[in-house]
Amino acid sequence: MRDFAGGRSNALSLPELKQLQKNVAKAIASFEDRRKAEARAKVDDFARELGFSFDELAEAAPTRKRATSAPKYRHPENAEITWSGRGRKPAWIAEALASGKSLDDFAI
């Protein structure tokens, strides 16, 4: 029977298996790094054909920032606690709805 360590017929010890695992992880990381470098070079070449550098294009990428939503609901006992009506319901809203109240009761 052959194993992963080059054809020895005996089983590998735990330290040998762990070293093999480390070696495989290093080989995978090295392979991925080479592939990324190749991709980066191709993108760089294409960007240069268009008169740019990759870094210029990467910096120019627009970033979207989500606007904060105005609060629509206010806690009945603490006016500083609000909820915009987006996302997960806060516990105080969920409890109030379970007790029979409606969102209109908390509208600002």
Say what the pLDDT of residue 32 is: 97
Number of domains in the chain: 2
* Structural domain contains residue 3: no
Q: What is the pLDDT along the chain (108 residues), one digit of tens a residue?
A: 445 555 554 688 999 999 999 999 999 999 999 999 999 999 999 999 999 988 888 876 677 777 888 999 999 899 899 999 998 999 999 999 999 999 999 999
Say what the pLDDT of residue 59 is: 79
Q: Looking at the structure, tell me whether residues 24 and 54 fall in a common domain.
A: yes
Determine the structural domain holding residue 97 and report its residue range: 73-106
Instruction: Name the pTM for this structure.
Output: 0.43
Kindly give the pairing relationship between strand 73-74 and strand 82-83: antiparallel
* Structural domain contains residue 31: yes
Q: Looking at the structure, tell me whether residues 52 and 80 fall in a common domain.
A: no
* Structural domain contains residue 8: no
Calculated CA dihedral for residues 39, 43, 48, 54, nearest 10 degrees: -100
Q: Looking at the structure, tell me whether residues 51 and 24 fall in a common domain.
A: yes
Q: Looking at the structure, tell me whether residues 20 and 46 fall in a common domain.
A: yes
Q: Is 39 left (phi over 0), alpha (psi -120 to 50) or beta?
A: alpha
Say what the pLDDT of residue 4 is: 55
